[in-house]
Structure 1
C-alpha cells in the first residue's frame, strides 16, 4: 500500500466518523415543551351592529364648505363583553382618504370629502389610535373641499368603516 492509498483510506474514515457524529444529536430525547392557551376576545359591537350615520341635511352651501361649517358629532357607542374593559383597544376609520387630506374620506363628488375628527383633531384614516373603552373619543365629521375648488350643487355621500379592535 502506498502513501496515496493510505491517505484515501484515512480520509474515508474521517468522513465516516464525522457523519456519525453529526447524526447523533438527531437521536437525542425531546427536551423542549411548547404550550399555551388560545382565547377568543370578548365580542364588541358598534351601534349594536348598525350604521353610524351623519346627515348634513339638504342645505350645505357650496361656498361655505370650509372644514368648519356643518360640523356634526357622530353618534356611536361601543359595547363589549364586561371582561373587555381591562384590554387595550384601538379605534380606526378605514376608508379611502382624499389626496388632499389624510383625515378625509372621499365622497362621490369631485373635490369634496368628509373629514373625521377625534376630540377636535383630524383623525387620520387607516391609522388606529389607542382608546379607553370607558371613555371613547368624541368623533365628528365635517365637509371639506380641495383648496381653490368650486363645488357643484347636488347630493353627496361618503362611506368608511369604523372599527374597534383589541391589541
Structure 2
C-alpha cells in the first residue's frame, strides 16, 4: 500500500468511528523590547578616594559609595533586570578590580557584601542596590606612594 493510500484509509476509519469536530487554530501576539534604561544618564561614574595612606589600605578604610542612578522607562511586562560589574579581577580577590599599581585593587561591595566581578545579580530597578568601593591590597604587597587608577563597567540589562 502506498503512503497516500494509508492516509486515505486512516481518514476513512477516523470518520467511520464516530462524529468529530474540527477547529482551526490561530496564534497572535506582539513582540516588544524591554523599556530603555540609562545608568548615570550615560556618563562616567567617578569615585575619588583622594589621598590614601599606603599603610592604611585594609579593605575598610577609605570606603566610598558609588553614586549612580538607574532610570528606566515604564514597561508593560514584568521584566527581570540584572546588574553586573564587568572588569578584570585581581588575583587575590574576585570582587576587586585590578588597579594600575601592583598589589592594589578596588573591591566592589553591594549592600555591604562583596560583589563578585562579572557575575550578574537579579535586582529591582526601582530600588537598585547600594554599591561601594574600597581599596584593598594583596597580603604579600607593600605599596609605594604614587597615583593609582582602576576601571570597570557597570552594566544593567534585562533577562
Partner deviation per Cα, 1:44-65 (whole Å, 9 max, x = no partner): 00000001110001x2011110
Of 141, 147, 150, the match for 2:133? 141
Q: Which aligned pairs between 1:24-63 and structure 2 lie closer than 5 A? A: 37-57=30-50, 59-63=51-55
1:109 and 2:94 aligned:
no
Following TM superposition, by how much is the alpha carbon of 1:86 offset from its aligned partner in structure 2, in angstroms?
3.5
**Does 2:87 correspond to 1:65?**
no
**Which structure: greater helix fraction?**
1
C-alpha change, 1:33 and 1:100, in structure 2 (3 Å) is farther
- Root mean square deviation, CA, Å: 2.3
- Partners of 2:37 and 2:80 in 1: how far apart? 13
Q: Which has the larger radius of gyration?
A: 1
- Gap runs ≥5 in structure 1: 1-16, 26-30
TM-score scaled by length of structure 2: 0.81
The residue that corresponds to 1:95 in the other structure is 87
Q: TM-score, normalised by structure 1?
A: 0.77
Partner of 1:109: helix, strand, or coil? coil
Ranges of 4+ aligned residues in structure 1 off by more than 3 Å: 31-37
Q: Number of residue pairs matched?
A: 142
User: Which of the residues 66, 74, 82 maps onto 2:66?
Assistant: 74
